[in-house]
Amino acid sequence: MSKEGFFFKKGELQLRKLFLLMFLMEIAIFIIISSLPLKDPALYNQFKQQQTSITTLPLLQMIFSIFPHNLEVATLEIVPILGQFFYILSAVTTSLILAVEGTSNSTLGLVYFLGLALLPDTWIELPSYAVTSSTGIYLLYILIRKRSQLRSKSKKILLNYAFAAVELLIAATFESAAIIMETTYSSPYDLYGPLLLWIPAIAVIIILVFVYRRINKDEYHGYRTSEEQNILIQ
């Protein structure tokens, strides 16, 4: 008897639903922990120094300073078990930094998170980590319960990783463009400029959603595997 439920369909674990769970968990961590009133002057100063070292770079250098670091994080997160632990740790650590930054400026870190949420790169970067972490869980499931399908599922796993890498490169590009606008434009264009990035970002996000669905097309209604098609033909 095959398993059925939110995470299973015809006995198969649904990667796209794992992604949804991990993404919602990530957002919840940011909202809850960034809302905490935390003081840590040493951590705040260290963060500001690292931030300054990046935000003063030219556009291309900034992109390829942000992207490799984020890709390294995503690569660790695809490793089964270790990756999911690192996924939570990474979200918690970033949320703590937001909390400390908010407290240092007499407000809540949640305000800073909501500020980041107004920018398109946030909604491209954060899902990419959920993609790799959920893919790590999916890989673990295949290794334990469906080892015979490892070869056939390896393409799907690799494509999800490649998809996350492309997402991170796009996110780094939008983030760098927003930083350049914020640091070089005069008021109020330093605020309006980054928000205008939503115009190209909406089209990019729609394309990314379409590509993600194509990569995981076996999980959507109406898709039949080659084995099922052969049965129908017979």
Helical H segments across the chain, by residue range: 15-34, 41-55, 59-77, 82-104, 109-117, 122-145, 150-184, 189-196, 198-215, 226-233
* pTM attached to this predicted model: 0.91
Residue ranges covered by each domain of the chain: 8-222
Question: What tens digit of pLDDT does each residue of 92-132 get?
Answer: 999 999 999 999 999 999 999 999 999 999 999 999 999 99
Amino acid, res. 112 = Y
Of residues 132, 25, 125, the one with CA closest to residue 82: 132
Of 35, 170, 15, nearest in space to 103 by CA: 35
**What pLDDT is recorded for position 212?**
98
Give the whole-angstrom CA distance, residue 220 versus residue 225. Answer: 11
106: left (phi over 0), alpha (psi -120 to 50) or beta: left
Low-confidence ranges of the chain (pLDDT < 50): 1, 226-234
**Using an 8 Å Cβ cutoff, are 131 and 87 in contact?**
no
Do the bridges between strand 8-9 and strand 12-13 make them parallel or antiparallel, or are there none, so unpaired?
antiparallel
Quick one: pLDDT at residue 222? Answer: 57
Per DSSP, the three-state class of 80 is coil
Count of all residues that appear for the chain in the document:
234
Q: What DSSP designation does 148 have?
A: G
